[in-house]
C-alpha cells in the first residue's frame, strides 16, 4: 500500500516522506560519495537509516557499532548470520540477496540502499529507487582489491571513521602475518580452488585472484579464458594439484559461526575426495584436501582465511601461528563473541 502511495506522490511532483523528513529541520550536510562502480551518490551524512542486500556490509557495520542504522537486510543474512551478528535480529527482511524486493525496500524508507556490484542492473534497482529519494550505492566488501576502500567509506557514511580506521588497521595486521612468513618464497604450491558451485573455479581475471599469490599458491586455473570457469573432474586430475581448497556454502553444508554438525561436514569432505578418478590426484593421496567456510573465504575476514590457506600450503613457515587464535581474537574484539563453529576441515 505504501509503495502505491509513494509512486502516486512521485507522479504528483510532491516530495516523498523520506525527502520531506530530510528537509524538515535536518541540518546534516549533503555529501557526494563515489561507490565501487565509480558512481557518484549524494546522501546526507551520517546516514541514519539504510538497507542492504550485502551481508559483508552488514557484518562490517555491526563491527563498527553501527547496527542501529540498518533497517533491512537480505533473507540470507537473517537466516545465516544473526547468530554471530546478534544486533541484526528483528531487522526487516527484504528478500533474496540476488533479487531483493523493491517494494519492501521502499516501504522501509531508507536514506540509502547499499547493493552488491553484481546481480541487479541499474534498470532493476537505481531507476526504481532513486526517483523515490532512495539513493543506491554499490559496494563489494568481499573483494581484496576494494575492501579497504569499502571499509573506509562505510565508516564515513555512518559517522564511524575512527572505528573504521581501527578495523582496517586490524585487517592489515592479519594480512601481514601471511605476508611476513612468506617473504623469500621461491616455489608456490599448485592449488585447485573450487568456488561455491560444484567444479567452479577462478582464473586470473577473477576479483580475488590476488589472494593466490598472497598465500604462496599457484592457481592451476589462472590461464583459463573466463573469470569463473566450470571444469571437469578429469581436468583437475590431469592438472594434478598439490592442494585442493573448497569454499563451503550453506547451500551444500553448514559451516561457519555456530555450525556443529561435524558428521555432515565429514560426509561433504568425503564426497569431494571421491569424485571420479580423484584418487589419482596428489592432493587427495597426501591428505591435502580442505574445506573453508564462506565467511573466511571472502569479506572482512578474508585475511584469516588467507592465513589458513597459506599454512595449509606452507606448514613449515607457520608452525608457531594458530589461525584459529587469530580468528578468536577478531571475534572477541569486533563482535564480542567467543569462537564457536566449524570454519575449516580437516
Position 25 scores a pLDDT of 77
Q: What is the number of structural domains in the chain?
A: 2
Does 105 share its domain with 52?
A: yes
Does 207 share its domain with 286?
A: yes
Between 23 and 116, whose confidence is greater? Answer: 116
Does 61 share its domain with 108?
A: yes
Does 335 reside within a domain?
A: yes
CATH number (domain holding residue 310) = 3.40.50.1980
Does 26 share its domain with 114?
A: yes
Q: Mark out the alpha helices in the chain (DSSP H runs).
A: 2-12, 17-23, 55-63, 75-80, 102-108, 126-129, 147-157, 161-181, 210-214, 233-239, 262-273, 282-285, 294-297, 302-313, 323-335
Does 66 share its domain with 119?
A: yes
Q: 117 lies in which domain range?
A: 2-159
Does 187 reside within a domain?
A: yes
- Cα–Cα dist 102/229, whole Å: 31
Position 118 scores a pLDDT of 84
Position 301 scores a pLDDT of 98
Enter the pTM of the model: 0.92
Does 147 share its domain with 216?
A: no
Position 14 scores a pLDDT of 44
Whose grid coordinates read 561435524?
262
Does 124 share its domain with 88?
A: yes
Residue that terminates a domain, selected from 120, 143, 159: 159
pLDDT in tens, 172-226: 999 999 999 999 999 999 999 999 999 999 999 998 899 999 999 999 999 999 9
Is residue 307 packed enough to be buried (19+ CB in 10 Å), middle (13-18) or exposed (0-12)?
buried
Does 173 reside within a domain?
A: no
Does 114 share its domain with 207?
A: no
Closest CA to 94 of 124, 59, 51, 47: 51
Does 194 share its domain with 310?
A: yes
- Cα–Cα dist 268/185, whole Å: 33
Q: How many CA atoms lie within 13 A of 297 on its CB side?
A: 19
Position 2 scores a pLDDT of 47
Does 304 share its domain with 209?
A: yes
pLDDT in tens, 187-202: 999 999 999 999 999 9
pLDDT in tens, 14-39: 455 455 554 567 999 999 999 988 99
Q: Are 99 and 74 in contact (CB under 8 A)?
A: no
Position 120 scores a pLDDT of 87
pLDDT in tens, 37-90: 899 999 999 999 999 999 999 999 999 999 999 999 999 999 999 999 999 999
Amino acid at each position: 500500500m505504501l509503495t502505491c502511495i509513494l509512486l502516486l506522490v512521485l507522479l504528483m511532483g510532491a516530495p516523498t516522506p523520506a525527502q520531506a523528513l530530510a528537509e524538515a529541520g535536518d541540518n546534516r550536510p549533503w555529501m557526494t560519495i563515489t561507490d565501487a562502480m565509480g558512481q557518484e551518490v549524494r546522501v546526507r551524512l551520517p546516514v541514519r537509516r539504510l538497507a542492504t542486500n550485502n551481508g559483508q556490509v552488514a557484518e562490517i557495520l555491526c563491527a563498527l557499532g553501527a547496527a542501529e542504522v540498518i533497517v533491512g537486510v537480505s533473507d540470507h543474512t537473517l537466516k545465516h548470520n544473526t547468530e554471530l551478528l546478534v544486533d541484526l535480529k528483528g531487522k526487516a527482511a527484504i528478500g533474496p540477496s540476488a533479487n531483493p524486493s523493491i517494494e519492501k525496500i521502499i516501504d522501509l524508507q531508507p536514506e540509502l540502499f547499499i547493493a552488491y556490484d553484481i546481480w541487479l542492473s541499474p534498470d532493476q534497482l537505481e531507476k526504481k529507487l532513486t526517483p523515490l529519494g532512495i539513493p543506491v550505492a554499490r559496494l563489494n566488501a568481499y573483494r581484496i582489491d576494494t575492501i579497504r576502500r569499502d571499509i573506509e567509506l562505510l565508516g564515513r557514511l555512518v559517522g564511524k571513521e575512527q572505528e573504521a580506521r581501527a578495523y582496517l588497521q586490524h585487517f592489515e595486521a592479519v594480512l601481514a602475518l601471511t605476508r611476513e612468513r612468506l617473504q623469500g618464497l621461491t616455489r608456490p604450491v599448485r592449488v585447485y580452488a573450487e568456488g561455491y558451485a560444484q567444479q567452479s573455479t577462478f582464473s586470473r581475471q577473477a576479483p580475488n585472484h590476488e589472494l593466490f599469490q598472497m598465500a604462496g599458491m599457484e592457481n592451476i586455473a589462472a590461464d583459463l579464458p573466463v573469470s569463473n570457469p566450470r571444469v571437469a573432474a578429469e581436468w583437475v586430475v590431469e592438472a594434478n594439484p598439490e592442494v585442493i581448497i573448497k569454499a563451503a556454502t550453506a547451500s551444500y553444508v553448514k559451516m561457519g559461526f555456530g555450525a556443529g554438525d561435524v558428521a555432515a561436514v565429514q560426509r561433504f569432505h568425503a564426497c569431494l575426495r571421491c569424485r571420479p578418478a580423484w584418487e589419482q590426484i596428489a592432493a587427495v593421496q597426501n591428505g591435502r584436501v580442505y574445506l573453508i567456510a564462506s565467511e573466511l573465504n571472502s569479506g572482512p575476514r578474508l585475511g584469516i582465511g588467507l592465513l589458513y590457506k597459506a599454512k595449509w600450503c606452507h606448514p613449515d613457515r607457520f608452525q608457531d601461528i594458530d589461525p584459529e587464535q587469530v580468528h578468536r581474537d577478531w571475534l572477541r574484539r569486533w563482535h564480542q563473541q567467543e569462537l564457536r563453529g566449524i570454519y575449516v576441515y580437516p
